[in-house]
Copies of this chain bind each other. A is one copy, B any other.
Amino acid sequence: MILTGLQALVQPDRGEGLMSDKMLPSPVEIEGADAPGDALIICEHAANDFPAQYGDLGLSEDEKAAHIAWDPGALGLARGLARNLNAPLVLGTISRLIYDLNRPPHAPGAMAETSEIYRIPDNADLPVAERLRRTAGIYLPFHNAVAMMVAARLALGQRPVVITVHSFTPVWHGTPRQVEFGVIHDADDRLARAITAQDTGLMTMLNEPYSAADGVAHMLATHATPLGLANVMLELRNDLLADPAAQAAMADRLTPVLRAAITAVR
């Protein structure tokens, strides 16, 4: 067990120490922190950036552009929803292949060695020091930012619903996916069922193309469930988010559905 050196990194007062390495790029941005809406929007897989400090993991340009590196279209949808709902948006700025913000540090998928049919060369046999560096440099600052947004709202007397926004690939291991809109919940299914109870005009399914049992509810389980905040993970098939116009149209389509669902769980 390699623990030597952790003490030196730990300066927990006011977020210094592990989180203060000025050489590492920020893994998180917050848009509209003051927006007073009833929701907090989170987009973990918004970007496919591979900052020089972490390297490109030995991937080709095509692989870095593929769905394995990010959720194509999710950021545009998330921004549209945040604008329409007048809600803050917390978004990730680094490829999920470097660190998947929706996975805890011990999960195999946090720094995945494989994704669908792709091998991620530099994630193979990752040294424990590099696992710790990515955890400290990416996972912790992002989750601290989400915790801050939630705690500040609670202190102000708000009870925001927590909505994470994702996209999925139309073809998985060669098989086309029929579902267009997946609505996934953690332990609390109220908001998810209030969404799927409505006519969305899309092929909508509860807990498809995957569910909390697949380990995809980490963000909700950490920042919403313990506080009793209603929450949901939205998954849109990425061929429906192909360009900014499609992303904006999808946001406009889903906004009244989300508004009604939020009202239903109040």
Chain A residues with CB under 8 Å of chain B are 1-7, 9-10, 12-22, 24, 26-30, 32-36, 90, 104-106, 128, 131-132, 134-136, 139-141, 143-145, 147-149, 151-152, 154-159, 218, 221-222, 225-227
- B-chain residues with CB within 8 Å of residue A28 when the two chains form the complex: 12-13
Q: Do A226 and B227 touch (CB < 8 A)?
A: no
Q: Do A152 and B132 touch (CB < 8 A)?
A: yes
- B-chain residues with CB within 8 Å of residue A4 when the two chains form the complex: 34
Q: A175: shortest Cβ distance to chain B, in Å?
A: 31
Given known A-B contacts A12-B30, A28-B13, A155 and B143 have beta carbons under 8 A apart: no
Q: A28: shortest Cβ distance to chain B, in Å?
A: 5
Q: Do A154 and B34 touch (CB < 8 A)?
A: no
Main DSSP-derived SS at the A contact region:
helix
What is the oligomeric copy number? 2
For A105, give its contact among B5, B30, B154 (CB under 8 Å): B154
Q: A230: shortest Cβ distance to chain B, in Å?
A: 14
For A14, give its contact among B5, B7, B12, B21 (CB under 8 Å): B21
- Contacts A10-B149, A14-B21, A105-B155 aside, 19 further interface pairs with beta carbons under 8 A come to A1-B156, A2-B156, A7-B33, A10-B145, A12-B30, A12-B90, A12-B144, A13-B26, A14-B20, A14-B24, A15-B19, A104-B151, A104-B227, A105-B152, A106-B154, A131-B156, A135-B154, A136-B151, A144-B147
- B-chain residues with CB within 8 Å of residue A27 when the two chains form the complex: 13
Q: A109: shortest Cβ distance to chain B, in Å?
A: 13
Q: Do A12 and B145 touch (CB < 8 A)?
A: yes
Q: A159: shortest Cβ distance to chain B, in Å?
A: 7
Q: Which 6 A-B pairs have the closest CB atoms?
A: A15-B15, A13-B26, A12-B145, A15-B19, A105-B155, A105-B154
